[in-house]
Copies of this chain bind each other. A is one copy, B any other.
């Protein structure tokens, strides 16, 4: 499948935006403008954007904490995200949930993330089952990590989706670590995608730093799901390029491993490709980056000027 110039440009924008928003967050955190902890997703851009762009607007996704690109590409704005990080009333969770947690908005088909991993999987399965029961031609996508793959709920979710042949796309982001824990302490196999066979579903391994590879696999899986084929498991091999969260200097990661992956940065790879086929040049890139910086400046200003939630609202919304 040839990827259209338009798709590549979109992908480029969202991946650059995710990266820039991530950097902005780090900067704001250093300035103590961000409340509490902060998760970087650098290295994950091709996964989150590649998978998200394979969905239709009417589909749904349950992203995890390094899928900023998915939130953005589906329509959660940097304004709302920065306001969220700053605990403002204009943040996605209106100051209730922390950093990337609880950033859900079903108007954009996004489920709010919950810490307890891999909770995103079964909720996507349930949404997919609702689609099936209602006869809607929609697909649910769920993300989980290599660490999350050790949790029983990962098994229950994949199995449930398989038993009911539900339209779910499981994106496993294998970024080599779960907090400080290397793959060897989570599993005794090389490819998590091998487990798909235990559910009679397709299991695919892709280069998670290659946007086109992620997009193609996800697109295929979405098509298959929508056609009634059932779930697919896509394992994206990538690398978490920062610590688990901002406080973690990841001394436990071998330097060489980071260097190796740094040479395969997903944005650089995409840009090299786009330059090669004449879709990008230096001018185009600086224009885009300037545009993004301006967008983030505006978003930051919006967030900083947004009020904190009124403490009188503390108990609002515990019940619907």
Q: Mark A180-204, 1 if CB is under 8 A from B, else 0.
A: 0000111111000011011111000
Complex Cα spacing A151 to B159, Å: 9
* Nearest CB in chain B: distance from A78 CB, A: 36
Name the one of B189, B194, B198 contacting A189, with C-beta atoms under 8 angstroms: B198
Most buried by B among A162, A184, A187: A187
Residues of B within 8 A of A152 (CB): 151-156
Complex Cα spacing A152 to B201, Å: 18
Number of A interface residues in the complex (CB < 8 A): 25
Does A163 lie at the interface of the complex (its beta carbon under 8 Å from any beta carbon of B)? Answer: yes
Name the one of B155, B185, B200 contacting A188, with C-beta atoms under 8 angstroms: B200
Most buried by B among A155, A184, A185: A155
Chain B residue at smallest Cβ distance from A186: B163
Does A150 lie at the interface of the complex (its beta carbon under 8 Å from any beta carbon of B)? Answer: yes
Say how many copies of this protein the assembly contains: 2
Residues of B within 8 A of A154 (CB): 152, 155
* Nearest CB in chain B: distance from A131 CB, A: 19
CB pair B151–A163 under 8 Å, yes or no, is no
Name the one of B162, B165, B188, B189 contacting A187, with C-beta atoms under 8 angstroms: B162
Q: A151-B152, A155-B155, A156-B152 are in contact. Are A185 and B163 (CB under 8 A)?
A: yes
CB pair B156–A151 under 8 Å, yes or no, is yes
CB pair B199–A188 under 8 Å, yes or no, is yes
Q: A155-B155, A159-B150 are in contact. Are A194 and B198 (CB under 8 A)?
A: yes
Residues of B within 8 A of A185 (CB): 163
Q: Mark A115-135, 1 if CB is under 8 A from B, else 0.
A: 000000000000000000000
Residues of B within 8 A of A155 (CB): 152, 154-156
Chain B residue at smallest Cβ distance from A158: B155
Chain B residue at smallest Cβ distance from A165: B188
Residues of B within 8 A of A201 (CB): 188
Closest 8 CB pairs of A and B: A152-B152, A155-B155, A195-B198, A162-B188, A188-B200, A152-B156, A189-B200, A152-B155
21 CB < 8 A contacts A-B: A150-B159, A150-B160, A152-B152, A152-B155, A154-B155, A155-B155, A155-B156, A159-B187, A162-B188, A163-B185, A163-B188, A188-B199, A188-B200, A188-B201, A189-B198, A189-B200, A194-B197, A194-B198, A197-B197, A197-B198, A198-B198
